Copies of this chain bind each other. A is one copy, B any other.
């Protein structure tokens, strides 16, 4: 049985695993990211690979990283979390471990894992939206991962949805991830609580008294207890998720959407509303099939499983 190693390089943690042909994780490692020293990341990854490869025949290694990866799947051109610029990650790691290595955008790797082994099994045309602090995206078309001409496709969080809207980390205004992410949830909740503290009484109590103390987990907790402000914040991101998916359906006409990321763990508070908003906002509704919307199934390991499987198909 051919084994590959998948590695998901996050801003705080590096997850690595040996993965078989069925997407099952055979062995798993988790280490803190040496984020203050990006030069050490390649060395640390090589160490994890050596450890996992001991006594096994490993065919190839897939590395998933947040950022723009070039079309040759070798160089991380720009990674905001790790301060990488034109980082030749493929060459470095491959040189250290003597195995074939491919580099993938982390959200692309997650989308591939969900399409192959998770919620999107059997779908030929799928859009994966990772709703965490921001929004990550991955696109599978005609059964293959879609990377774009230069490897920079599926940056879904950076479609503009509000002209002149909230400032985004990417430097633009009004990006989708400023309205439909975990960050957006907190922004909405703070705004509502500041404008109408009575409505946000329970939320403010949980958060410690003032709007600027509100964090994502507290919005979720308050919403579950029926706090109207927290519920309104969830409704807002649900509507924006639906609208953005409708825009993507106008362009890509996928068979299904798969929603993952941290915010999807509170899906009971927004999933139905997002689905309704999508159906309502879809252009040509009534004259076309409605794409299915599903929750991701593979959780936090999707990135490494996808990277490992993409390395197998290199």
- Spot the interface stretch: A19-27, A152-160, A200-208: A152-160
Known: A149-B124, A149-B291. A154 touches B283 (CB 8 A): no
Given contacts A161-B160, A247-B159, A281-B172, contact A252 B153 (CB under 8 A): yes
B253 touches A288 (CB 8 A): no
Tell which of B148, B158, B283 touches A252, judged by Cβ atoms closer than 8 Å: B148
A185 to B171, alpha carbons, bound, how many Å? 29
Residue of B nearest to A155 (CB): B250
Q: Is the CB of A284 within 8 A of B251?
A: no
Per a CB cutoff under 8 Å, which of B125, B153, B250, B288 touches A156? Answer: B250
Chain B residues in 8 Å Cβ range of A125: 148-149
- Which residue from B124, B149, B158, B284 sits with its C-beta under 8 Å from A284? B158
Q: Does A77 contact B (CB under 8 A)?
A: yes
Bitwise interface map of A from 130 to 159 toward B, beta carbon under 8 Å scored 1, else 0: 000000010101000011111111111011
B residues within 8 A CB of A288?
68, 77-78, 150, 152
Closest to A150 in B: B289
CB distance from A172 to the nearest CB of B (A): 6
Residues on the B chain within 8 Å of A253, using CB: 147-155
Interface assignment of A246: CB less than 8 Å from any CB of chain B: yes
**Measured between alpha carbons, how far is A255 from B71 in the docked complex, in Å?**
12
Q: Smallest CB-CB separation from A256: which chain B residue?
A: B149
Contact in complex: B149, A251 (CB < 8 Å): no
Interface size class of A (residues with CB under 8 A): 35 or more
What's the nearest-Cβ distance from chain B to residue A1, in Å?
31
- Interface: A163 (CB within 8 A): yes
A residues 183-221 near B (Cβ < 8 Å) are none
If the complex has contacts A141-B141, A251-B252, are A287 and B158 also in contact, measured as CB distance less than 8 A?
no
Please give, as numbers and ranges, the residues of chain B lying within 8 Å of A243 by CB-CB distance: 160, 163
Whether A152 pairs with B255 at a CB distance below 8 angstroms is: no
- How many angstroms from the CA of A255 to the CA of B295 in the assembled complex? 32
Q: Tell me, yes or no, whether A254 is within 8 Å of chain B by CB.
A: yes
Shortest CB-to-CB span from A245 to chain B, Å, is 11
Given A125-B148, A147-B253, A251-B252; 19 other pairs, CB 8 A cutoff: A68-B284, A77-B287, A77-B288, A78-B284, A141-B146, A149-B291, A152-B253, A153-B251, A153-B252, A155-B250, A155-B251, A155-B284, A156-B250, A156-B251, A159-B159, A159-B250, A159-B251, A160-B243, A247-B247
Q: Can you list 30 A-B pairs with a CB-CB distance of less than 8 A? A: A77-B287, A124-B149, A125-B149, A137-B251, A148-B253, A148-B254, A149-B255, A149-B291, A150-B255, A151-B253, A152-B284, A152-B288, A153-B251, A153-B253, A155-B250, A155-B253, A155-B284, A156-B250, A158-B283, A158-B284, A159-B159, A159-B247, A160-B161, A160-B243, A168-B283, A170-B283, A171-B285, A172-B281, A248-B251, A251-B251
